[in-house]
Chain A
Amino acid sequence: MSAQQLKQDSPWRQYICLACGLIYDEELGDPDSGLPPGTRFEDIPDDWQCPLCGVTKVDFELFEKPAILACDKGTVFNRQPGVVIVGAGLAGWSVAEQLRQQDAEIPITLISACNGDIYHKPELSIALSRGFEQSELVRESGVDAAQRLGVRLLPNTLAVGLSPALHQLRTTRGSFHYTKLVLAQGSKPALPAELPAAVCWRVNTLSAWSGLQRALAKGSSRVAVVGAGMVGCELAEDLARAGHQVTLIDRDNTPLSALLPEAAATRLSSGLAKLGVKFLGGQAIRAVEPRADGSRAIVLASGLSIEFDQIVAATGLVTDNRLARQAKLDFNRGVVVDADTLRTSEPAIYALGDCISLDGKPCRFIEPIKHQARAIADAVLELDSEAYAHNAPVIRLKTRSVAIVLHGLPSPDGHWRMVQEDADGLIMEQVSGEQVISRLNLGSPNQSCAA
């Protein structure tokens, strides 16, 4: 577009005399002083004088009409409240980082049930055997991170209510307005009724882990880990390496039964057994009974009762649907988000991390979070960017007894084919039609690194 065209196309402007308030209107010009209608401000000669007070054009300034003059217009003069993020886990902080990298000004408020300290959650399932304490796992305090990023952090604050029509989030420290809201509230342990919260530890937050760590600091204990999923298997190994007597209990017959074919699961069991972990498969729990001496007995459906000093439940995670329900957001095992934009069913609300579901499936891993955060930051700041593309992350179990690497997402009832098997490990594949949908590599650490 040529400069000339730009000049013609752009709307007429008005300039105000800073000395007397006279308004020069480009459309009208100043015919008395020889400026015909349509004279652009730039084209006015420098010696032109204000017809009212005689100052020259340097004392004029672009005039913008105050938006509201009539009294019946709803006046909105509040500054935009900016972005409010719920949750200071990896997901919440990642969005704050991404936003701040690209926009130094936008107000960011981070509201979190926890204290906001930044830690790497995967470390929680290997930290006991390494002798860590809570403070050693904190990479940056929430306060420091908030200062570094210019974020208003509200620690120990719980979001309790959400009204999208008002752009209002209500918390235990008052209500907040948002221009855009980002839900990064994570997921919480799904505790079956027979495992009461008051007697069973869960390892899903640093502070909960720390409680368990302190309870175990007294010395070697009898510990039950209920649930042999990824977290349960990793914790069982970690506890055993830390010197505790560990029993791993699952209602299914093998550990990690949702992910691993039997041949692989058997190797995992025996790897854990070598570390002293006793696996009790095919066992439903009927109840947990506290004992007078402070220990707890787990009563199995078979009637067998076993005593432990501590019980750790690793029976899976669920997303709390409270905010979604209040705001009538689509929800299906997680906050439903658009696969390209991470936007929820409400236009001004986004979600990411452990709390979302894509195609009805949650995906609770570290790797996707940074891409999701990036997509949300771009959308919030209205930057052009590529759509988010979800890929099932590579799963690497942090069990050192038997290294397990899984590519793709196996279907629970799909058929596994053995590709290679020897004393050190095995490689298996799941095929659907012609396509390999999942590949499993189980063996010594060296081998799986090569995979």
Chain B
Amino acid sequence: MKERKAMNRALVSTEVSTKPAPWADDAKVLADVAEISRQQLAPAAYRIDHEGYYPLDIMAKLGQAGAYAAHQDRYGCRYPLALATMTEISRHCGSTGFMSWAHDVCGLYMEQSGNPALLARLDDHVAGITFGGTGLSNPMKALTGIEKMALKAKKVAGGYRVSGTLPWVSHIATGQYCGAIAAVEKGDGSPSHEIMFLLDLDERVTLRACPEFSGMEGTSTWAIPLVDYFVSEDQMIADPAGPFVQRIRGAFVLLQVGIAAGVIQGSIDSIREVEPVLGHVNQYLHDRPDELQAEYDDILARAMTLAETPFDGSKDYLLDVLDLRTQGAELSLKASTSALLHQGARGYLMSSAPQRRIREAQFVAIVTPAIKHLRWEMAKLMNEELPA
């Protein structure tokens, strides 16, 4: 109890101060994030999922508790902790888990850019004072050959001019920002290379509403149409972007496993919750909690090992991460479906977590890299390369 009070005080005080807390103690960060997720996020999950409530207030508190710091070099490159906090958040609300991932990788881009102008903005980002997401879905697919690059850039004095539309980017709003990549064209229109930059969504950009999604409605997801948007040196993350993306890809995908882990853990929680009253009929179901738990533990153990070396550039490491991410998505689907079957009608209520988690799991399975992209990429990496 005493501890709880101390923490509440800490929260109140960070609300007024803009200085980040030290966040050095892994156990405390995790406990604080878990507490906020349980007490504030879980009750808001319905509003977020259903009424499209964009929970920046809660994300600010999570940021102040250190949820968005652990993976950053300047806070000790603690990927295991970053995964653990993302799991806690996603366990109670997958939408916020996804936005936390987007926020985390945006911070990753800013820090790894080494650009002083972006580094100067990093502390506010990490502390949840300013917010930003990531629009790398299309470029990540484009760079591995699945589709074409949506944004095109032309070199101009002092920077680039970028045009094109990113179809849907989450955790953004006017005044916020996101990481983006554009294909640079030479004077004659032929492709040159790619640039990566922090896209500031200021008065030059009018966000376009997206059609209604079956879930993730509270993730503030918009289309971003750009017409001759000027990208200055201060916004540059990497030029050329290719080697940079190569370097961060493992970490980018690995962090997503936190979303899957939360959805799975939440599903197992829901199954166990009704075991005392429904166990006698639930025994007839597939994918019982112990089976799910065993597979979940396997995933978690591998995730924690991979989290020790997030910048391992080897092909085998990337394959391990892609394999883990795929398994995470598959188990999310299986566990969330099972949770609904275990809970029955009570899980089918619009206000209940199991039906929401099914849609969250589906999102984990289709968000880039989707299961199909992951398998495609793994096959590409593993198949023998032969002369043309």
Contact = CB atoms under 8 A, between A and B. Distances in A.
B379 A161 contact: no
Given A71-B279, A168-B295, A322-B319, A197 B383 contact: no
Contact of A197 (B298, B378, B385): B385
A326 B387 CA distance: 30
Interface residues of A, number: 36
B6 interface: no
B302 to A, nearest CB: 8
Given A72-B279, A161-B323, A172 B298 contact: no
A251 interface: no
Given A74-B290, A170-B323, A175-B327, A198 B379 contact: no
B295 A326 contact: no
A160 B382 contact: yes
A173 B375 contact: yes
A71 B284 CA distance: 9
A208 interface: yes
A174 B319 contact: no
Nearest to A156: B379
B28 to A, nearest CB: 32
Contacts of B280: 71
Interface in B340-388: 375-376, 378-379, 382-388
A192 interface: no
B35 interface: no
Contacts of A175: 327, 330
A71 B384 contact: no
Contacts of A156: 379
B382 A158 contact: yes
A291 to B, nearest CB: 14
A113 B383 contact: yes
A72 B284 CA distance: 11
B187 to A, nearest CB: 25
B64 to A, nearest CB: 38
A93 interface: no
Contacts of B283: 68, 71-73, 75
A interface, over-half SS: mixed
B282 interface: yes
A309 to B, nearest CB: 11
B326 interface: yes
B323 A75 contact: no
B387 A199 contact: yes
Interface string A312-335: 000000000010011000000000
B386 A201 contact: yes
Contact of B320 (A71, A200, A326): A326
B386 A165 contact: no
Interface string B225-255: 0000000000000000000000000000000
A132 to B, nearest CB: 19
Nearest to A312: B387
B387 A200 contact: yes
Nearest to A69: B283
Contacts of B16: none
Contacts of B379: 156, 158, 172
A211 B316 contact: no
Interface in A159-181: 160-161, 163, 165-166, 168, 170, 172-175
B interface, over-half SS: helix
Given A71-B279, A188-B384, A201-B386, A174 B330 contact: yes
Given A71-B283, A175-B330, A205 B384 contact: yes
A215 interface: yes
A201 B388 CA distance: 10
B294 interface: yes
Nearest to A70: B283
Given A158-B378, A322-B316, A211 B326 contact: no
B154 interface: no
Nearest to A68: B283
A70 to B, nearest CB: 8
A200 B282 CA distance: 58
Contacts of B47: none
B295 A74 contact: no
B50 interface: no
Interface string B312-328: 00001001101110110
A166 B330 contact: no
Nearest to B326: A170
Given A71-B279, A75-B288, A172-B379, A198 B323 contact: no
Nearest to B299: A163
A208 B324 CA distance: 30
Contacts of A205: 384
Contacts of B286: 78
B89 to A, nearest CB: 26
Interface in B281-297: 281-284, 286, 288, 290-291, 294-295
Contacts of A113: 382-383
Nearest to A72: B279
Nearest to A157: B379
Nearest to A163: B298
A198 B383 contact: no
25 contacts: A68-B283, A71-B283, A72-B279, A75-B283, A75-B284, A160-B319, A160-B378, A161-B320, A161-B323, A166-B294, A166-B298, A168-B295, A170-B327, A172-B375, A172-B376, A172-B379, A174-B330, A175-B327, A188-B384, A201-B386, A208-B386, A211-B386, A211-B387, A310-B387, A325-B316
Interface of A: 68, 71-75, 78, 113, 156, 158, 160-161, 163, 165-166, 168, 170, 172-175, 188, 197-202, 205, 208, 211, 215, 310, 322, 325-326
Cβ-closest 6 pairs across A and B: A161-B323, A197-B385, A71-B280, A172-B379, A71-B283, A71-B279
Given A158-B382, A198-B388, A205-B384, 10 more contacts: A71-B279, A75-B284, A75-B288, A160-B382, A161-B320, A163-B298, A172-B378, A197-B387, A198-B387, A202-B386
